[in-house]
Amino acid sequence: MSEALLEIRGLTVGFDVPGGRLPAVAGIDLTLGKGEILALVGESGSGKSALSMSLVGLNRGPRTHIGGEVLFGGRDLVGAGEKELREVRGKDIAVVFQDALAALNPTQRVGDQVAEMIRTHRRISKRNASKRAEELLGEVGIANPGQAARAYPHQLSGGMRQRVMIAIGLANDPAVLIADEPTTALDVTIQAQVLRLLKRLQRDHGTTIVLITHDLGVVAEVADRVAVMYAGRIIEQGTRDEVLFDPQHPYTMGLLSSVPRVDGPAVSRLPAIAGSPLTGVARPDGCAFAPRCTFVHEACQKQTPPLQRRYAGEAHLDACVLDEAGRARARGALEEVAQ
Ligand SMILES: Nc1ncnc2c1ncn2[C@@H]1O[C@H](COP(=O)(O)OP(=O)(O)OP(=O)(O)O)[C@@H](O)[C@H]1O
Ligand SMILES: [Mg+2]
């Protein structure tokens, strides 16, 4: 991996809910390299959004408890004050959400919204900011940026709005762009265009991108590295090829086993694995996936297996106590099911 840009250490996010504190993020260590695209995958509720929002304190509040460290440019963003964070947000680390319609201001022209983001972080005249906003709309692939700039969000298509969100994210040429399901609401053609755009950003601007997705097809297409989340933890992590072609954790194997191969039809949503993930406040000892795992044995229930290198390549980590023979059996069994 290239030079470290952002280092997440022991990150936890707990939400106070009726009945206790929900451990949405239960201790994550992750380093983002400069210019890489990291895909964060996992079922609904695994903590992907809670993790990404906590990086820049977007989910801070009286009922949210964020712990651990997020080191960026020599400072810790978890401990940073709101004023300091406001500077980081949008300027150094930008977040693009899935639901562009909800994130945009319905009463303001989109060009003005992009320009405003530029002016929040830079001393630049209104006129120049508007000019730059139009340029940005062009850069994200909007065919008639002048016209789009004057439109209100509801006058644009879903794909256009998503591009506007990305333009806002890029307004200040951030070092890190966190894109939370940026293509989910879009049809396949537009989705491919947005992904190509992210890839281009990485190439031309060296932007580090965290791409949150349910879609393993998206992962295969654009990711350099993959982190698989389950119940608030990363249970497997490695290069794209390591995770997709040599999965180590039965959960990852399960996700992949029902995805058709490249020559099959393009079905790529995360397939259902029998049972449902832990979502309550109580987290019994042991591996969180154990209740759903076909290959569970006694050791799985004793303690939470740490994420570490076990039987695969140097940077390929997993949190499963199965030994090498057990993994081979698991892989074999799942391949059989897939046929
Ligand atoms: N503000 C909140 N208050 C209480 N619980 C929350 C809050 N936000 C998220 N949660 C809970 O935290 C857990 C993780 O949620 P999160 O939104 O991070 O999941 P996700 O992986 O992004 O899921 P999805 O794929 O559906 O977007 C879930 O159990 C969710 O219900
Ligand atoms: Mg989410």
Q: What are the pLDDT digits (tens) for 244-254?
A: 999 999 999 98
User: Quick check: 258 and 338 in contact, CB under 8 A?
Assistant: yes
Residues spanned by the domain of 282: 244-338
Q: Say whether 277 sits in a helix, a strand or coil.
A: coil
Q: How many domains does the chain have?
A: 1
Euclidean distance between CA atoms 143 and 175, whole angstroms: 26
Atom 12 in ligand 1: residue holding the nearest Cα: 24
H helix runs in the chain, sequence order: 48-55, 82-88, 100-103, 110-121, 126-139, 145-150, 158-170, 188-205, 216-222, 240-245, 250-257, 298-302, 324-338
Tell me how crowded residue 73 is: count the other CB atoms within 10 A of its CB: 11
- Report the separation in Å between the CA atom of 48 and the middle of ligand 2, taken as the mean of its atom positions: 5
- What does the pLDDT read at residue 150? 98
Residue 90 gets the label, from left (phi > 0), alpha (psi -120 to 50) or beta, of: left
- What does the pLDDT read at residue 283? 85
Q: Is the dihedral of CA 83, 89, 91, 92 positive or negative?
A: positive
- Report the separation in Å between the CA atom of 115 and the middle of ligand 1, taken as the mean of its atom positions: 31
Strand 208-213 relative to strand 225-230, pairing: unpaired
Q: Is residue 265 assigned to a domain? A: yes
- What does the pLDDT read at residue 259? 58
Atom 1 in ligand 1: residue holding the nearest Cα: 15
Q: Is residue 163 assigned to a domain? A: no
Q: Say whether 75 sits in a helix, a strand or coil.
A: strand
- What does the pLDDT read at residue 68? 98
User: Quick check: 265 and 242 in contact, CB under 8 A?
Assistant: no
Evaluate if pTM is beyond 0.75: yes
pLDDT in tens, 258-311: 555 444 444 444 455 778 887 788 888 899 999 999 899 999 999 999 999 999
Atom 30 in ligand 1: residue holding the nearest Cα: 45
Q: Is residue 301 assigned to a domain? A: yes
Q: Is residue 174 assigned to a domain? A: no
Ligand 1 pocket residue status of 233, Cβ below 6 Å: no
- What does the pLDDT read at residue 274? 78
Q: Is residue 311 assigned to a domain? A: yes
Atom 28 in ligand 1: residue holding the nearest Cα: 45
- In sequence order, what are the beta bridge partners of 65? 14
Ligand 1 pocket residue status of 15, Cβ below 6 Å: yes
Q: Is residue 277 assigned to a domain? A: yes
Ligand 1 pocket residue status of 295, Cβ below 6 Å: no
The parts of the chain modelled with pLDDT lower than 70 are: 1-2, 185, 258-272, 337-339
Q: Is residue 20 assigned to a domain? A: no
Atom 25 in ligand 1: residue holding the nearest Cα: 44
- Report the separation in Å between the CA atom of 40 and the middle of ligand 2, taken as the mean of its atom positions: 10
List CB contacts of 64: < 8 A, sequence separation 6 or more: 13, 14, 15, 16, 54
- What does the pLDDT read at residue 300? 94
Q: Is residue 204 assigned to a domain? A: no
Ligand with minimal distance to 19 CA: 1
- What does the pLDDT read at residue 26? 96
- What does the pLDDT read at residue 280? 83
